[in-house]
Chain A
Amino acid sequence: MVEFAGWQMPLYYGSQLDEHHAVRNHAGLFDISHMTVVDVSGADAERYLRYVLANDVSKLHSAEDGQCRALYSLMLREDGGIMDDLIVYRLSANGYRLVVNAATREKDLAWLLGQAGRQSLEILERPDLAMIAVQGPQARELVAQTLPSGEALLALAPFCAHRDDETMVARTGYTGEDGFEIIVAGAQAPALWAELHALGIAACGLGARDTLRLEAGLNLYGLDMDETVSPLECGLRWTVDTQTDRDFIGRRALERQAADGVKFVQAGLILEGNGVLRAGYVVHTAGGEGKVTSGTYSPTLARSVALARLPVDAQNDGEVVIRNHRHAVRIVKTPFVRHGKIKVDLENKLH
């Protein structure tokens, strides 16, 4: 067990590597109730979120037949630094739900309240709700067998959610596999967990959650991005919606950065040979020095991979110093793994 943002969480239940493979090959179960759920409602909710979030919530259609859409977005500071990343769901015409990180809970709530001003809004944290993720190629089928709304769940498109009273099931995740994230009343969560576990879905800890998201090339807030990092330099330009003239926090700063020229980009690294890349390691490239922002051992590739912030002129390869030895790294486009398949060429060795 480890302490994480005030929660006691398991790093693994049994074997972290087995838990990882279970998600890639079958299905895994994650207790992610530490995530902070915040409901934003009121006549000004859309206007408010279009200003506070860098992605545009007007792309979320109003809920129909209990279905709603989800959007990944950043919340930026005025200077373009990243406050947090989150998923926003539109629950009703004037109702939205944000799922933000646990480690940033207090500052996020203070920021959201601070931006509300005199608008007609209610911002309500929902600590009464729990969250369970079921991820893997068999995940949707198994969840559909368990919940009464099974058929509707199987019909959900990616990044859509179905709501049945307090139970909300979204086809989203943080592993690079298909699956669901289920928000449920806290009191009902243990029974749901037990039922899913009884179907043979492997319980997975924070350790596997990290190796899975890294293989999928998904950023972790606090490592791959934070308040000092611009979305333009951590691979998240696609989440910043500038298609309309919408005014949102951080827009002017990002436009200035884009005009001045961005100096860093995010890329994936594959370590040639043995060892494990770790956050903070310096990466030497033809275009200058960069930095590993998060690294791990990839159970699927059976070698170390990392996300790194590199100079824009970095080429196809670089070097990392591990314990006084220089090791070659290959610079690749992420993801490393998606839907159970390796997406990078492992045979294309440098030497």
Chain B
Amino acid sequence: MGEIPVELKYTEAHEWIREQDDGTVEVGITDHAQVSLGELVFVELPEDDTVVNAGDACAVVESVKAASDVYIPLSGTIVATNQALADSPGLVNTDPYGEGWLFRLRPNTPTQLEELLASEDYERFVAELND
């Protein structure tokens, strides 16, 4: 099921969420997700300052094989996107939790973070998918 860092939060749509010191959160797709998709050839990201709601499809990661939506884990405002992915979408494959981050957003209600999955919950969720 790939690597699942303990310090991150997760969603059932296979996104990870990292709390930043400045109160924003960084979002990407999990190792499990990138393995399932295969090598990415194209990433479509939202615009900065876009106001987004939890559950919105806001980005697309596309591999040779398939396209997959990325959903907003927390309502808020997009504050940054990973411009390096325009030329190197493969960063999501090689470093999904680091250089392959997708976007950062400032949540309206930071307490929503607590509703996301902890690493052990996500690990159990992926294990059940594979059964």
The interface bits of chain A over 3-41 (1 if a CB of B lies within 8 angstroms of the residue's CB, else 0) are 000000001100111000000000000000000000000
Q: Are B64 and A296 in contact (CB under 8 A)?
A: yes
0 or 1 for each of B25-65: is its CB under 8 Å from A? (1 = yes): 00000000000001101101000000000000000101011
For A276, list chain B residues within 8 Å (CB). Answer: 41-42, 62, 64, 67
Q: How far apart are the CA atoms of A296 and B90 in the complex, in Å? A: 16
Q: Are B38 and A16 in contact (CB under 8 A)?
A: yes
Which A189-223 residues have C-beta < 8 A from chain B? 207, 211
- Write out the residue numbers on chain A whose beta carbons fall within 8 Å of the beta carbon of B67: 276, 278, 323
Question: Mostly helix, strand, loop or mixed at chain B's interface?
Answer: strand
- Inter-chain CB contacts under 8 Å: number: 33
| B62 CB contacts on chain A under 8 angstroms | 275-276, 297
Tell me whether A207 and B64 are in contact (CB under 8 A).
yes
**Interface size of B as a range:** 10 to 19
**In this complex, which of A15, A276, A278 has the most chain B Cβ atoms within 10 angstroms of its Cβ?**
A276
Nearest to B86 among chain A residues (CB) is: A274
Assembled-state Cα–Cα distance A11/B62 (Å): 16
CA distance A276 to B38 in the complex (A): 14
Pairwise interchain contact B38-A275, C-beta atoms closer than 8 A: no
On A, residues with C-beta under 8 Å from B are: 11-12, 15-17, 207, 211, 274-276, 278, 296-297, 323
> What residues make up the interface of B, taking CB atoms closer than 8 Å to A?
38-39, 41-42, 44, 60, 62, 64-65, 67, 90
Q: Mind listing 7 A-B residue pairs with CB under 8 Å? A: A12-B38, A16-B39, A17-B39, A275-B62, A276-B64, A297-B41, A297-B42
Seed contacts A15-B39, A207-B65; 7 additional CB < 8 Å A-B pairs: A17-B90, A274-B44, A276-B41, A276-B42, A276-B67, A297-B41, A297-B62
